[in-house]
Homo-oligomer: A and B are copies of this chain.
Amino acid sequence: MTFIIKVRCHNRPGIIHKLTEVILKLNGDILEFDQVTLQDQQFICRIEFLTATPYAHDELRPYFSDISQELKADLRIVNADDPLRMGILVSKQSHCLMELLYQMSVHYLPVKVPFIISNHPDHKEMASYYKIPFYHIDTTVPDKGEREIIEIIEQKSDFLVLARYMQVLSSPFIEKYPGNIINVHHSLLPSFKGGNPYQQAYDYGVKHIGATSHFVTEQLDEGPIIEQDTVQINHRHSVESIKQSGHWIEKKVLAETCRLYAKNRIIRSKAQTIIFK
């Protein structure tokens, strides 16, 4: 069985020695070990290891509880063979949704998709093609359908992906949802926040456009950035063709982000993300 441990704590000598002592006790064979000490003296690492014994997820935790307490560490253990459950919220545009579902179907994206929620009915057929439960939500009501959404997603998903979901989630919603929420914004943040970034890019006359995935926080388009990518444009581009070029990098950035997240390669630390690729 393959397990992944992610650790975040204040740095001090000997942490790796202690962590590997526990893994050795479990007869674990380390496949990949990545560590970095940030400038603010945060110690961050990710360890992927194999065990011959088929430990249950809960059996491993006690082995690490002593060291976890001693280091006051944020230490997480996951079984790499258990796919995460990735809930999807989407509005009208389908390119990101399509990519995620396709990548899941060919097992490039090692997740289960328990539901698709949309404020448009359009994607029902696609959801049914991929055999995913589809919920059409009315977001024109005062709470933007959030109560209804919470009911659907509670206990069904480990993280949420906003695959071009054009509704702003309320702070209570974000606080209430126990997992991470990942969004893709169609600009290279911090440029062109808010509405219609492709029009903004066109008006500004930039020669490169971008896409950014980030964790959702209470500030719109402001959470810790995960992945970014850019593409060159020129004077021949209209707003429409900028949009078409942009869709490529949006779906690439979002699919890659979900893959990294699903493989437990992203560690969130304050306003920053540490990604061990």
- Which B residue's beta carbon lies closest to that of A232? B228
Query: A167 interface residue, CB < 8 Å from B?
Result: no
Q: Which residues of B contact A274 (CB under 8 A)?
A: 235
Cα of A197 to Cα of B232 in the assembled complex, Å: 21
Pick the most buried of A30, A190, A273: most chain B CB atoms within 10 A of its CB. Answer: A30
Query: A20 interface residue, CB < 8 Å from B?
Result: yes
How many residues on chain A are close to B (CB under 8 Å)?
66
How far is the CB of A129 from the nearest CB of chain B, in Å? 5
Query: A33 interface residue, CB < 8 Å from B?
Result: yes
Q: Which residues of B contact A27 (CB under 8 A)?
A: 13
Q: Which residues of B contact A271 (CB under 8 A)?
A: 205
Q: Which residues of B contact A204 (CB under 8 A)?
A: 189-190, 225
Cα of A77 to Cα of B182 in the assembled complex, Å: 42
- Contacts A106-B94, A204-B190; is A16 near B13 (CB within 8 Å)? no
- Residue from B28, B37, B102 in contact with A13 in the complex, judged by beta carbons closer than 8 Å: B28
Contact A37 B31 (CB under 8 A): yes
